[in-house]
Structure 1
Amino acid sequence: MLRRGAQELRYGDLAGDRRPVVFTHGAGMDHRMFDAQAEALHERGHRVITWDQRGHGESGLAPGSSFTAAIALDDLTALLDHLGLDSPILIGHSLGGNLAQALVRRSPERAGGLIVVDSTWNAGPLTAAERLLLKFAAPSLALIPASRLPGLMARASAVTPEGIAECEATFARMPKRVFLDVWRATVSLVDPEPGYRTPVPLGLVRGEDDKTGNIASAMPRWARAEGVPEHVVPGAGHVVTLDAAEMATKTIVDIIDGWDVEPRA
């Protein structure tokens, strides 16, 4: 457990001699979404860190506090400091991918690699339609009754019965007001910067059937701009690690195994 003021952040730390890997889950989810991938990388000798962001899973939310992008980014940075991690590979899904991008953009020396899973391109250009989508996303979700929100979001996030059931059960643990704060934080991390290129090795992964936000169009643009492959996993939606755990695991392992994990020039 890492304590930050009144806030407790719960994390798991699996020992290993190979380069550390830090998994950061998506909005409304928790560390369990990466169970299969964490186990596989640990078996290959990596030190593997999973954690629950504040307001999620076992971390909860301290009384009187709220979730913002700035606080979440500081939490991730504090976790790296607390564990004394040297150039870890950051793997983030959705919100976790946005956070990992933001950390690399702010402090590129803190990461030895970045794998973004089903997340939009923070620094990428936005069309007028995409800007409108971002602007009205949270207000639209606010109109949905709290009783219906977990099921609706689960069906938007996963495509397999197992993935939908797991997502719905996890989303249902989060109060609606917290979920809306988390969603606003996710949107706020999108910050276009023409010409910006990721200064560390980059891997991009998404489910073939991911229809959330602009991910299906933004990630291919990102891959072309950076000159890296886009790894598209068939039979999976937004939460690719649940819909297609085996293929998602293989994809992430193959990316890491194929890297020369030195920062790109």
Structure 2
Amino acid sequence: MLNLDRTLDRPGATLRFTVLDGHRRTVVLVHGAGMDHSMFAAQALALHETGHSIVVFDQRGHGVSHLEPGRHFTGPAALDDLAALLDHLALDRPALVGHSLGGNVAQALVRRDPARAGALIAIDSTWNTGPLSRGERAALHLAAPALSLIPASRLPGMLARASAVTPRAIALTEAVFARMPKRAFLDVWRATVSFVEPDAGYRVPIPLGLIRGELDRTGNIATAMPAWAGAEGIRERVVAGAGHVVTLDAPEATTTALHELLASVPHA
């Protein structure tokens, strides 16, 4: 894990983050629901070695970022946290790389204020503005009640096996999920769902990259990301043999895909 040696006070929370300085475009890594910055450790170090400045942080209530007692994780707060972190660091159009929930947050920030980012790379994240079938709408609304019925002792292992496919990635993912209380994870899941707002006419106005694990079966990602790529007229990059947490299942292949996507983005 990287040492998150810096803090940013936010309403109801304290974010922990670190910056690895470089001479190339800044890349901000936004982790997924129930995870923390460690899911990006391999990619952060590899991208930094090639000269990129890297920002990694734990979202509120995740990892070592504090959430005040009585506070709940919400989508608007997560979105404002990301914007505040970019402001705090005075970042000029960084590349936002978001996994799962992190991708939803990054999409929402770009939609709200496209000038904040120079590129958006979504990894195993559903398409915020994409169309939803009746079945997908029902599944989104029923997921939190269904998860609430699973005993807290079993939930981390179940989530890990649904998210990763290699033994090492399953073990690492389960260990991270186990650190978050069940009630907090349910709040995070509800926040993730809140970012899904279909808008048939919306297209991402900045360079976009999409990465998906071939074996990702979480939510509607396996169908939504290819549809998103088709709507935007870009090529989705599918990582063979990897599940939802592609950064841990296939770290080298994920890093290669990120290098290629970042190399294709014009310099700020």
Cα RMSD (Å): 0.9
Determine if the alignment matches structure 1 residue 241 to structure 2 residue 250.
Answer: no
Question: What count of residue pairs does the alignment treat as equivalent?
Answer: 262
Moved over 6 A (4+): none
| CA displacement, residues 109-158 of structure 1 (integer Å, 9 cap, x when unaligned) | 00000000000000000111111111101111001000000000000000
Determine if the alignment matches structure 1 residue 84 to structure 2 residue 83.
Answer: no
- 1:85-100 matches, within 5 Å, as 85-100=91-106
Deviates more, 1:196-205 or 1:54-63: 54-63
2:229 corresponding residue in structure 1 = 223
- Given that 1:36 and 1:245 are in contact with CA atoms closer than 8 Å, whether structure 2 keeps it comes out as yes
Mark the runs of 5 or more structure 1 residues left unpaired by the alignment: none
Determine if the alignment matches structure 1 residue 155 to structure 2 residue 155.
Answer: no
CA distance in 2, matches of 1:6, 1:220: 37
- Given that 1:113 and 1:261 are in contact with CA atoms closer than 8 Å, whether structure 2 keeps it comes out as no
2:4 corresponding residue in structure 1 = none
1:43 corresponding residue in structure 2 = 49
CA distance in 2, matches of 1:180, 1:218: 23
TM-score relative to the length of structure 2: 0.96
CA distance in 2, matches of 1:222, 1:261: 25
Match of 2:175, SS? Answer: helix
User: What percentage of aligned pairs have identical amino acids?
Assistant: 65
- The alpha-carbon deviation at position 60 of structure 1 amounts to 2.8
- The alpha-carbon deviation at position 4 of structure 1 amounts to 1.3
For residue 193 of structure 1, the aligned residue among 196, 199, 204 is: 199
CA distance in 2, matches of 1:6, 1:25: 20
- The alpha-carbon deviation at position 5 of structure 1 amounts to 3.7
Cα pair distance change 1:162/1:107, threshold 3 Å: same
Determine if the alignment matches structure 1 residue 75 to structure 2 residue 81.
Answer: yes
CA distance in 1, matches of 2:106, 2:165: 25
For residue 217 of structure 2, the aligned residue among 211, 228, 231 is: 211
For residue 101 of structure 1, the aligned residue among 102, 107, 114 is: 107
Cα pair distance change 1:212/1:6, threshold 3 Å: closer
- Given that 1:122 and 1:190 are in contact with CA atoms closer than 8 Å, whether structure 2 keeps it comes out as yes
Residue identity opposite 2:122 in structure 1: V
